[in-house]
Amino acid sequence: MKNTIGHTLLVAIGAAVLPAIVLAQAYPTKQIRVIVPFPPGGGVDFAARVVGKQMAERLGQQVIIDNRPGANGIVGLEILKLAPPDGYTLAVASQGPLSINPSIYAKLPYDSTKDFAPISGVVNFPLLLVVHPSLPVKSVPEMIALARKNPEQLSYSHPGAGNSGHLAGELFNSMAKVKILAVPYKGTAPAGIAVLSGEVQLTYSSIPTVLPHVRAGRLRALGVGNAQRVPSLPEFPTISESGLPGYEAYAWGGMLAPAGTPKEIIARLNKEAVASIRMKEVSDQLLKEGTVPTPTTPEEFGAYIKAEIDKWGAVVRMANIKGE
């Protein structure tokens, strides 16, 4: 009798596992859509296209980038949440919609830790702290000293509430024990123009946006927000090593699927995503843009999202930041 029960259990388990194995072996059989919750041309869009192109070759199917901007990434991630969990709808999203929105919006149509299946980290977007040349500082300690001597007299621009540049500034304020005023602008371009014109004294910006102005002497770079120097720009010290130990603030992007996507498919997608990111051709393209490739396991990326929610949630509460 026991043998009969054991045999029945083995048959049942085999029947349950077999479809998943067959599904993973057959996958993919049609094109894959990758949602980018931002307009074309931005850093996340660029990374998704570079990595997606290589993944298409490895998977033997088209990978189509579908830009779905709106509401700080909320529109695109809601579409991902509602998509069938079959591996044919993915997304490359950033820390804004995944790790910052949960703290600045009272109600979200998705839960970053429950509604998505992490696949892999993709890229890190270093932020560069730059100041207008008229500001009499050439280092992070000098800027901290000036800000302490003149509380609320310095200001920094950012592209909107909850943006990575906004939170980078508030984290700096908190760790350096200074009060540099945050001035919001409607987008990255106006925020950059504000510091170029001297309307504000500094900003925390993605490297490609401000690097040409630093090279031309129109802005002065004080440091990058990464924990380590950017490989393609080793001449720029980190803010941490320059005078604010432990400071770390940057933007990032990673790949996800809807929750419930079979683990076998997640494993296949992770394998091809990581292999694609590590290819010299792909990593060189990413590094050339001042970004840092960051392939991970699904488990590492999931834990990272949770850690980022905790980290930036504390900054949002400290600075009393509200969604626009």
The model's pLDDT over 100-151, given as tens digits with 9 standing for 90+, comes to: 999 999 899 999 999 999 999 999 999 999 999 999 999 999 999 999 999 9
> The whole model's pTM is what?
0.85
Q: What is the pLDDT of residue 34?
A: 98
CA 179 distance to own-chain centroid: 26
- Beta-carbon contacts of 163 under 8 Å, excluding residues fewer than 6 positions away, are 96
The model's pLDDT over 239-290, given as tens digits with 9 standing for 90+, comes to: 999 999 999 999 999 999 999 999 999 999 999 999 999 999 999 999 988 8
Rg (CA), the chain: 22
Q: 293: cis peptide before it, omega within 30°? A: no
Q: What is the pLDDT of residue 267?
A: 98
Query: How large is the angle between the packed helices 263-278 and 43-59, nearest 10 degrees?
Result: 110
Quick one: average pLDDT of 291-296? 95
Of all residues in the chain, the percent with pLDDT exceeding 70 is 92
CA 89 distance to own-chain centroid: 19
The H or E element spanning position 155 is strand 155-158
In this prediction, residue 188 has a pLDDT band, given cuts at 50, 70 and 90, of: confident
Domains of the chain: 6-125+250-319 (3.40.190.150), 126-242 (3.40.190.10)
Position 8 pLDDT exceeds 80: no
Task: Name 258's bridge partners.
Answer: 116
Residue 62: DSSP 8-state: -
